[in-house]
Structure 1
Amino acid sequence: MGAEKPSNSSSENGGVCVGSGDRISNFETQVMLNVYDLTPLNEYTVWLGFGIFHSGIEVHGMEYGFGAHEYPISGVFEVEPKTCPGFIFRCSVPLGHINMPPSEFRTFIEKVAAEYHGNTYLLISKNCNHFTNDIAWRLTGKRIPGWVNRLARLGALCSCLLPESLKVTTVKQLPEYHACTEDGSESLDSTHESAESDDADQQDKLLPSPSTTSSDVSFIKEIQR
């Protein structure tokens, strides 16, 4: 589901968005791709043209990523830039600039979160790097570098290359989502049992999510378009 690419006026007026009358505001911000190593083995394999990477998109001073869990709700989370727990920061790649108010971006990411549920995470076709590539395209019209997600394209080889310590399929609990619904009931308990029984699907969910027990990680609560 595509989203309209926001108008970027920085190339026309130096990043200054001119409003009505004399009101002038500047919401220009850089879009950065922050790349992490999932294993120290990257130090050796990266010279061969591939590695095992996690990536997040940094916008307006926060970083956004996508991880697996077993519930049909948002798997999009935010952290302080370059500090995603459980991963080793490698580098940042500038992707361009956008001119978008923080409030507008927040609405944008909350809508996108509805498309990236934790239980839909698939290593080969819908992983954290697919998420950042999608966000980068929607915001800037640019893709992330191909080397970041090259391993996913190798398909079946990924399972063999990942060390056992990384073969964590899901985050077992999302405390912040065990809140009551509008009618006062909890709606996620039944999904836990069904997700655990579907071992075949979870074979694809090889890249771990950051720990939800960390106070530095917050999952984005989705809103519908």
Structure 2
Amino acid sequence: MFCGRSSRCSDDNRKGSVPVFLNVYDLTPINGYTYWVGLGVYHSGVQVHNVEYAFGAHEYPTTGIFEGVPTKCDGFTFRKSILIGKTNLGPGEVRKVMEDLAPEYKGNAYNLITKNCNHFCNAACLKLTSNPIPSWVNRLARIGNDSPKEVSCGLPLC
């Protein structure tokens, strides 16, 4: 069963017994400095039942959601795990949630500002726990989306 707005879902699913973590990775060494002022460029994945689900780009109109080993995403430096909440969904039900998200998160639809791995993780965490990811994880994408078109540096003070 997929827990969204279904009347069969209860508050028990939010409190659940299985932890749901957001695993955050640095995309650049500069994050070591910018993290402390609330900025950075991050990749993230959702860890549940010892599987990490993430979203990435490719050129095909098929899902960009993939599974991996928690905290070991190739090409990125692991920063931290954040407990987002808990779920009562079993492994098959979690996989069903990811399958339900797949049509929205196709590899060729990936966009650094409007549909990135952090957007996917937020959607997945909301489905699994009813809790969003921390706002700092995707702050630069929001700044980039809210910035006037002539501003190209992506920083709030440009």
Sort the TM-score into its range (normalised by shorter chain).
0.7 to 0.9
TM-score under structure 1 normalisation?
0.59
Match of 1:114 in 2: 103
Q: Which residue, 71, 91, 95 being the options, matches 1:102?
A: 91
Question: Which whole-Å CA distance do the structure 1 matches of 2:112 and 2:23 have between them?
Answer: 19
Specify the alignment match of 1:40 in structure 2.
29
Question: Is the contact between residue 68 and residue 120 of structure 1 (CA under 8 Å) also seen in structure 2?
Answer: yes
State how 1:63-74 maps to structure 2 within 5 Å. Answer: 63-74=52-63
Greater mean deviation of Cα atoms: 148-157 or 31-40: 148-157
8 Å contact from structure 1 (residues 7, 99) kept in 2: no
Gaps of 5+ in 1: 16-27, 160-225
Displacement of 1:61 after TM fit? 0.8
Tell me the alpha carbon deviations over residues 1-41 of structure 1, each in whole angstroms, 9 at most, x when there is no partner.
x94364352788xx5xxxxxxxxxxxx31000000001111
Q: Name the structure 2 match of 1:128.
A: 117
Give the conservation status (yes or no) of the 8 Å contact 1:8–1:99: no
Deviates more, 1:33-42 or 1:101-110: 101-110
Q: Which runs of 5 or more structure 2 residues have no equivalent in the other structure? A: 145-151
Show the counterpart of 1:191.
none
Secondary structure, aligned partner of 2:114: coil
TM-score by length of 2: 0.83
Larger radius of gyration: 1
Tell me the amino acid that sits aligned with residue 124 of structure 2.
I
Which structure 1 residue ranges, 4+ long, deviate > 4 Å from structure 2?
A: none
Aligned to 2:12: 9
User: Residue 49 of structure 1 is aligned with which of 38, 42, 55?
Assistant: 38
Q: 1:124 aligns to what SS in structure 2? A: coil
Q: Quote the Cα distance in structure 1 between the aligned partners of 2:14 and 2:108.
A: 40
Q: Mark the CA change 1:11 to 1:33 in structure 2 (over 3 Å): closer, same or farther.
A: closer
Aligned-partner Cα distance in 2 for 1:129–1:152: 9
- Is the Cα–Cα contact under 8 Å of residues 13 and 129 in structure 2 kept in the other structure? no
**Structure 2 CA distance for aligned equivalents of residues 93 and 157 of structure 1:** 29
* Contact 2:84–2:131 (CA under 8 A) maintained in structure 1: yes
- SS state of the match for residue 126, structure 2? helix
Q: Deviations over 1:63-83 (max 9, x none)?
A: 000001111000001101000
**Identical amino acids, percent of aligned pairs:** 51
Q: CA RMSD in A?
A: 2.1
Q: In structure 2, what is the Cα distance between the partners aligned to 1:101 and 1:130?
A: 23
